[in-house]
Amino acid sequence: MTEITHYSQTWTHRTPRKRLFLWAGWVALVALFLWCWQIMTESTIWAFVWDAPRQAADIGSRMLPPRLSYVPELLVPMWDTLNIATLGTIAGVIMAVPVAFLAARNTTPSARILRPIALFIIVASRSINSLIWALLLVAIIGPGILAGIVAIALRSIGFVGKLLYEAIEETDARQIEAVQATGASGPQVLNYGIVPQIMPAFWGISVFRWDINIRESTILGLVGAGGIGLKLQASLNVLAWPQVTVILLLILGTVVVSEWVSAKVRRAII
């Protein structure tokens, strides 16, 4: 019997080789960070950066006190913002439902052609921010609420479509089979086997997206797509900081309220 010698006396989590790789990985990350930092700050004017605390104090002193007499002027833009979010969500959901059914593996009519197209629509819609959609749409159909609604709708397709198609894929196949066993046609299977199963998810997703859309529609005005953002942009342009404070407070209030409503509704549904 050979004698067993050289074992490490202390227990270690990783082998020396693994530790080496780990350290190499960290060093590489630090090097990458430093390199990126170098490139990013090449054109930075440091005098502005050192000056920033003074600037911040300056802006802060200008922002207070908020000009509360400005509130009545904000009510119509706020109403527009709510409409952009709500109508945009409705339109987005209506467009997202067929896309979700085409993208789900168990309901798509053709996994070869239609499913990749549907998945591409979902990815494209998700990777472009609503502000960029709004920028495009303002250039195409002109400034106003309509551009905002369409931007919100196009942005919502990806989000709703993705979550909904995942919900469709998670449906219980036995229930669908039971409906099929009765000799139901395709639409009947959809109506009685699948739709009841995804209904709670559908409403939950829609309300969740509505909540996000309220948040996003408040800033669409920055590029001209209507709503309270227009007032924000106008106030920023003339450096009316007390008005900016009022608008930000109003946006914050709206976001909090919409979050509360959405949480309440979702708890009631699910």
Partner 1 sequence: MSAQSYPKTWRRPPQIVKDRRWRIALQLGILLYLVLAVGSVEVDWERVSIGLERGQRFIMGFLQPDFTSRWNDIARGLVESLTMTLTSTVIGVLISVPIGIGAASNLAPKWIYYICRSIIAVSRALQEIIIAIFLVAMFGFGPFAGFLTLSFATIGFLAKLLADDIEEIDETQAEAIRSTGASWWQLVNYAVQPQVMPRLIGLSLYRLDINFRESAVIGIVGAGGIGATLNTAIDRYEYDSAGAILLIIIGIVMIAEYGSSYLRKFLQ
Site residues (vs partner 1, CB under 8 A): 29, 32-33, 36-37, 39-41, 43-45, 48-49, 52, 55-56, 59, 79-80, 82-83, 86-87, 123-124, 126-129, 131-132, 135-136, 139-142, 144-146, 149, 215, 218-219, 222-223, 236, 248, 251-252, 255-256, 268-269
CA distance 250 to 73: 12
CB of 96 or CB of 229, closer to partner 1: 229
Q: Nearest to residue 81, comparing CAs of 150, 136, 148?
A: 148
CB of 57 or CB of 109, closer to partner 1: 57
CB of 4 or CB of 270, closer to partner 1: 270
Q: Nearest to residue 241, comparing CAs of 5, 27, 55?
A: 55
* Minimum distance, C-beta of residue 256 to partner 1, in the bound complex (Å): 8
* Minimum distance, C-beta of residue 10 to partner 1, in the bound complex (Å): 15
* Minimum distance, C-beta of residue 205 to partner 1, in the bound complex (Å): 17
CA distance 148 to 133: 9
Query: Largest alpha-carbon pair distance within the chain?
Result: 94
Q: Decide: 74 and 250 in contact? Cβ < 8 Å.
A: yes
* Minimum distance, C-beta of residue 5 to partner 1, in the bound complex (Å): 30
* Minimum distance, C-beta of residue 32 to partner 1, in the bound complex (Å): 7
Residue 250: CA count within 13 A, CB half-sphere: 28
CB of 145 or CB of 168, closer to partner 1: 145
Sign of CA pseudo-dihedral 248, 263, 127, 143: negative
Q: Where are the beta strands (DSSP E) in the chain?
A: none
CB of 5 or CB of 44, closer to partner 1: 44
**Amino acid residing at 70:** Y
